[in-house]
Amino acid sequence: MLQVIIIPILPLGVPSDLERYFYNREKDLKRLKNHLNALNEDVAEQILITGYRGVGKTFLLKKMLNELPDNILVSYIDISRVYGNQRGNLKEELIMQYLLNSMNEALKDSSGKLKNIYNTVNHFLSKISLKKYDFKEAGNILGVAVPEGRNDYEKLSKFVMEFPQKVVESSTNIQGFVIVIDKFQLIGELENPSSFFWLIRSYTQNQDNVSYIFTGSVSKTSEIIQMINGQNGAFGGRMIQVNIDPFTQDELQGYLNEKVGELKFTEDGFRRFYECTRGIPAYINSFCNTMSSGEVYNSEKIKETFFEKMDQITVMWIQIWGTLSIHEKEIVISIVDKGPQKWNDLLKTVPVSRNTLAKYLDILKNKGIVVFSDQDGYKIEEKMLEAWIKHKKKVNGYYPP
Ligand SMILES: Nc1ncnc2c1ncn2[C@@H]1O[C@H](COP(=O)(O)OP(=O)(O)OP(=O)(O)O)[C@@H](O)[C@H]1O
Ligand SMILES: [Mg+2]
C-alpha cells in the first residue's frame, strides 16, 4: 500500500497570513488590548514587553495591532532594521527618521486633513534624506513650533515626538496612536541610550493619546531594563511590564494538533520534544519542519533528530551569530568552553582590556545572551545557542567563526 508522507511547513519568521498560523495567546491579547483601549478615555499607558528570543513577541504584536479598532492608528519599527543599515553604528537621528516615516505611513490611506499631513510630511522626509532639514511647512501643518537655533537632531526629535499627539488632535475620528518599537534592546548601543529614553518619557508625560510599546528579548537583569523602567530609569517603574511566556505543555499539544496534526508522538517522545524546544515557538516550528508524518516519534527518535538537524532547528542563531562583533563572540565562546565565570576569570580567558570586557558584557546582557548570577557569575542565558556552539565544535573541530 502506498503511504503518503507529509512534511510540515511552518513559518520561521512572522508570516503575512497571520490568521492561518497564529495560535492562542488569548489572555495576552486581551490584556494588551485593554491597556490600549484606555486611549479612548485619554489615558495613555506605556508598555514594555519582554520574553525569550523566538517566543512570539513580534507575532503577537502584529496580530494585536491588526485587531485594534480603526480609530487607533498604529505604527511599527524594528530597530534591527535601522541598525543593520548602519552596519552597527546606530544613531539617534536615524531612529527618529524611521519613526517619523513609519508614523506617517499610518496616515497613508486617510483623507482630508490627515492626507494633507501625510503628503507634507512625506515631502519633508524626502528632503531630510538629502540632509536638508526644512521644518517650516511640515511644522505649520501640524502646529508644532520647531525652535530656532537648535541643532538638527533637537529639532527633528521635537517634531517627531509631537507628531502622533498632533495627528490625533487633528482628526475627530482618531482617538489614539500606538507606536511599537521592536528589538528595543539595540537602543542600548547608542552612545547615550539613557538620554534617548528620557527624551521619549519627557514627551509621553503630556500626551494623553499616544502609547508606546517597547519590546525585545532582554534578560531581566540587563541594565537596559533598569534604564528604561527601573526606579531611577526614564519611566521610573510606571511602564506596564508584560512578559510573554513560552507555550506550556498543554499549549504545545494544542498547537501541534491544530497546525501539524499529521505528526505522531509517543508520550515520552512528546515530553522530550517539549524539553528540547522549551515551548518556544521558533524552535517548535523549525523542529517540526525537520519531521515527517511517516514516523512515530519516541524519545530516542526525538533526541536523534535533534542532534542530526541541529543546524536547521537553531537556524535563528546562525543569523544572529553573524551580527555579533568579534569581542562578543570571544566572550560567548569562552563561557561555553570553560563554563560560567566570574569577572576576574573572564578577564584572564578573554584577551581584551577591562573596559572592553565591561562594554561587551553589557551588550551581551542587553541582548539576552549572557546573564549574571551571584552564584555562578556570567553564564549563557540562551541554552539553544550554547547547544549549537558545542555542536559546531563537535562536528567541525572548531568553534563557529
Ligand atoms: N502564537 C503563535 N502561534 C503560532 N506561531 C507562533 C506564535 N508565536 C510565535 N510563533 C512563531 O514563532 C516564531 C518566532 O516568533 P516571533 O518572531 O514573533 O518571536 P519574537 O519573540 O519576536 O523573537 P525575537 O526576540 O527574535 O524578535 C515565528 O516563526 C512565529 O511564526
Ligand atoms: Mg521579534
Q: Are residues 84 and 148 in the same domain?
A: yes
pLDDT tens sequence across 299-358? 999 999 999 999 999 999 998 999 899 999 999 999 999 999 999 999 999 999 999 999
CATH of the domain at 300: 1.10.8
Domain with 53 in it: what CATH number?
A: 3.40.50.300
- Ligand 1: atom nearest CA of 62 is 18
Q: Whose CA is nearest to atom 13 of ligand 1?
A: 282
Place of cell 502646529: 143
pLDDT of residue 357: 97
- Residue where a domain stops, chosen among 193, 216, 243: 243
Clarify whether residues 214 and 336 are in a common domain.
no
Cβ atoms of 335 and 370 within 8 Å: the answer is: yes
Does 229 lie in the same domain as 179?
yes
Residues 6+ apart with CB under 8 A from 3: 294
Q: What are the tens digits of pLDDT across the range 86-133?
A: 656 778 999 999 999 999 999 999 999 999 999 999 999 999 888 888
Q: For residues 133 and 156, is the Cβ–Cβ distance under 8 A?
A: yes
What is the pLDDT at residue 323? 87
pLDDT of the residue at 3: 76
- Which ligand 1 atom lies nearest to the CA of residue 53? 25
Domain boundary among 287, 313, 339: 313
Give the mean model confidence (pLDDT) for residues 174-186. Answer: 96
Dihedral sign (CA 167, 171, 172, 173): negative
* Residue 118 lies inside a defined structural domain of this protein: yes
C-alpha of residue 56 to centroid of ligand 1, in Å: 3
pLDDT of residue 97: 94
Closest C-alpha to ligand 1, atom 31: 14
- Check residue 83 and give its pLDDT: 74
Q: Which residues contact 199 (CB under 8 A, 6 or more apart)?
A: 157, 161
Give the residue whose CA is nearest to atom 25 of ligand 1: 53
Which numbered atom of ligand 1 lies nearest the CA of 21? 4
Atom number of ligand 1 nearest to Cα 182: 27
Give the strand pairing for 296-297 and 264-265.
parallel
**Same-domain check for residues 356 and 254:** no
Do 362 and 276 sit in the same domain of this protein? Answer: no
Q: What is the pLDDT of residues 32-86, one digit of tens each?
A: 999 999 999 999 999 999 999 999 999 999 999 999 999 999 999 999 888 766 6
| Closest ligand by atom to 315 CA | 1
The count of structural domains within the chain is: 3
Per the structure, the complete domain to which residue 284 belongs is given by: 249-313
Average pLDDT over the chain, rounded to whole? 94
158 and 213 inside one domain: yes
184 lies in some domain: yes
Note whether 226 and 276 are same-domain residues.
no
Residues 157 and 116 in one domain: yes
Whether 178 shows a pLDDT value over 80: the answer reads: yes
Residue 147 lies in a domain: yes
Query: Same structural domain for residues 108 and 90?
Result: yes
**In this prediction, what percent of the chain has a pLDDT beyond 70?**
98
Query: Does an H or E element contain 368, and which?
Result: none
Q: What is the pLDDT of residues 190-237, one digit of tens each?
A: 989 999 999 999 999 999 999 999 999 987 778 899 999 999 999 999
Ligand 1: residues with CB < 6 A are 11-15, 21-25, 51, 53-59, 217, 281-282, 285
Higher pLDDT, residue 150 or 381: 381
